[in-house]
C-alpha cells in the first residue's frame, strides 16, 4: 500500500476563462495534491491510503465519500473547530492558478491524528510542501517523516505554493531543504527546480534514489544513480492541467510498485524509460479531463503500449 499524507480539499474551478475577479461561476471538484496522488495510485491498480484532516461539515462529508468511492483507505479525522480546506482555481489557457484558504482542518493535523502503524507498514509514504506552511501540521509532518526515515521509502513532491509563504521565503527554503534530506524519491517542476537553484539549493547535493523533473510540453527528466534520461511528452490537447503533476507522481509511484523498485537505491535505464513513458502518458491524459481527480483508470488504458510494458500482470 502507498500512503499519502497531506491536504485534501475542495477545488472550486472557474467555469469561465480569465481573471478570478471576472469569473461568475465555479464547479466543485475534490482536490489537494497528496489526495490527488492517492486517488491516482488507486485508479492505476495499486492499494492506497490518505492521512489528512477535514472539518465536521458538508464539504468534509463530500470528500470522505469521494475518497471511499475511489477505493482509497481514509485515515482522516474530523475537526470540530476548523472547516474543510477550499481552493479557488482560475484557468487561463488551461493553466491553473490557485488561491488557497488558510486556517483550515488539514493545517490542524496533530501527531495524535496520525496512526504510525499504518505508515510503517506502507510500501512508500508520499508527502508535499503545503503542510509545512503552518503549525501544527508542520511539526507533525516533520516528526512523522523523521520516524519513518530508513524504515519506509519517502516520496516528496516539492509543489511550492508561494501564496502560503508570503514574507517567509527563507523559512520555506529551509523547510524544503530539510524535506529533501529526508526524501528518497523526489519530483518537482522545472520552474521549482529553477527557483531552488536561484536560492542556492542544488539537488546534486542530496542522495535520492530517484529524481523526476517535469517539463510540461517538453516531457520529463528522470535521474537515478548515474543514469539520466529525457522522456518526450505524450501529445494531447489539454482542457485542464489542474493536477497533472499529481497524475505524473501517481503514475511514477505506481510504475515503481509494479516494477518492484520502490525501495531500490538506483534504477537501471530500461526500467527508468518504461516508468517515465508511463508517467508522461498518464499525466497527459489527465489534462483532457476537468478537475484534479482526472487520472484514467487502468482498464481504460490497458491496451496502450506504455501501459503494457509495466502492467502485464496488474495486481492490487
The domains located in the chain, with CATH, are 33-53+109-308 (3.40.1190.20)
Least confident of 94-98, 113-117, 145-149, 203-207: 94-98
Question: Rounded to whole angstroms, how far apart are CA atoms 56 and 132?
Answer: 23
Least confident of 132-146, 159-173, 219-233, 267-281: 159-173
Q: How confident is the model at residue 94 (pLDDT cuts 50, 70, 90)?
A: low
Query: Could you give the CA distance from residue 45 to residue 251 in angstroms, rounded to a whole number?
Result: 10
Does 263 score more than 80 pLDDT? yes
Segment 42-60 shows an average pLDDT of: 98
Tell me what the pLDDT averaged over the chain comes to: 93
Of the pLDDT bands very low, low, confident and very high (cuts 50, 70, 90), residue 314 is very low
Report the DSSP beta bridge partners of residue 229. Answer: 222
Mean per-residue pLDDT, 101-117: 96
Mean pLDDT across 42-64: 98
Beta bridge partners of 99: 88
Does the pLDDT of residue 316 top 60, yes or no? no
Rounded alpha-carbon distances, angstroms, from residue 92 to 16, 73, 86, 227, 278:
9, 34, 20, 36, 27
Whether pLDDT at 133 is above 60 = yes
Q: What is the CA radius of gyration of the chain?
A: 18
Q: How many CB atoms lie within 10 A of CB 167?
A: 6
Share of the chain above pLDDT 90, in %: 81
Q: Is the pLDDT of residue 312 over 70?
A: no
269-286 vs 244-258: helix axis angle to the nearest 10?
140
Give the separation between CA 162 and CA 148, rounded to whole angstroms. 27
**In 10 A of CB 143, how many CB atoms?**
14
pLDDT band per the 50, 70, 90 thresholds, residue 315: very low
Amino acid at each position: 500500500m502507498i500512503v499519502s499524507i497531506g491536504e485534501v480539499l475542495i477545488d472550486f474551478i472557474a467555469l469561465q476563462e480569465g481573471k478570478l475577479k471576472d469569473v461568475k461561476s465555479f464547479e466543485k471538484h475534490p482536490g489537494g495534491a497528496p489526495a490527488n496522488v492517492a486517488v491516482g495510485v488507486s485508479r492505476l491498480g495499486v492499494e492506497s491510503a490518505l492521512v489528512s484532516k477535514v472539518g465536521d461539515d458538508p464539504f468534509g462529508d463530500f470528500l470522505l465519500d469521494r475518497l471511499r468511492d475511489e477505493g482509497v483507505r481514509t485515515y482522516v479525522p474530523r475537526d470540530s473547530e476548523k472547516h474543510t480546506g477550499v481552493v479557488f482555481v482560475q484557468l487561463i489557457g488551461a493553466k491553473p492558478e490557485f488561491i488557497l484558504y488558510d486556517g483550515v482542518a488539514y493545517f490542524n493535523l496533530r501527531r495524535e491524528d496520525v496512526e504510525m502503524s499504518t505508515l510503517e507498514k506502507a510500501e512508500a509514504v508520499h508527502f508535499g510542501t503545503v503542510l509545512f506552511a503552518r503549525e501544527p501540521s508542520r511539526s507533525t509532518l516533520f516528526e512523522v517523516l523523521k520516524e519513518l526515515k530508513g524504515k519506509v521509502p519517502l516520496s516528496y513532491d516539492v509543489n511550492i505554493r508561494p501564496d502560503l509563504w508570503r514574507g517567509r521565503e527563507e523559512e520555506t527554503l529551509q523547510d524544503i531543504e530539510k524535506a529533501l534530506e529526508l526524501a528518497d524519491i523526489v519530483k518537482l517542476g522545472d520552474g521549482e527546480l529553477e527557483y531552488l537553484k536561484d536560492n542556492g539549493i542544488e539537488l546534486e547535493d542530496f542522495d535520492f534514489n530517484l529524481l523526476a523533473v517535469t517539463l510540461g510540453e517538453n516531457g520529463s527528466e528522470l535521474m537515478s544513480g548515474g543514469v539520466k534520461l529525457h522522456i518526450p511528452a505524450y501529445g494531447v490537447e489539454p482542457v485542464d492541467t489542474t493536477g497533472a503533476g499529481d497524475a505524473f507522481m501517481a503514475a511514477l509511484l505506481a510504475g515503481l510498485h509494479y516494477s518492484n523498485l520502490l525501495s531500490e537505491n538506483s534504477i537501471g535505464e530500461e526500467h527508468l524509460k518504461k516508468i517515465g513513458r508511463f508517467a508522461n502518458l498518464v499525466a497527459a491524459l489527465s489534462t483532457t479531463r476537468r478537475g484534479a481527480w482526472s487520472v484514467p483508470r487502468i482498464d481504460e488504458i490497458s491496451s496502450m503500449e506504455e501501459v503494457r510494458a509495466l502492467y502485464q500482470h496488474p495486481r492490487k
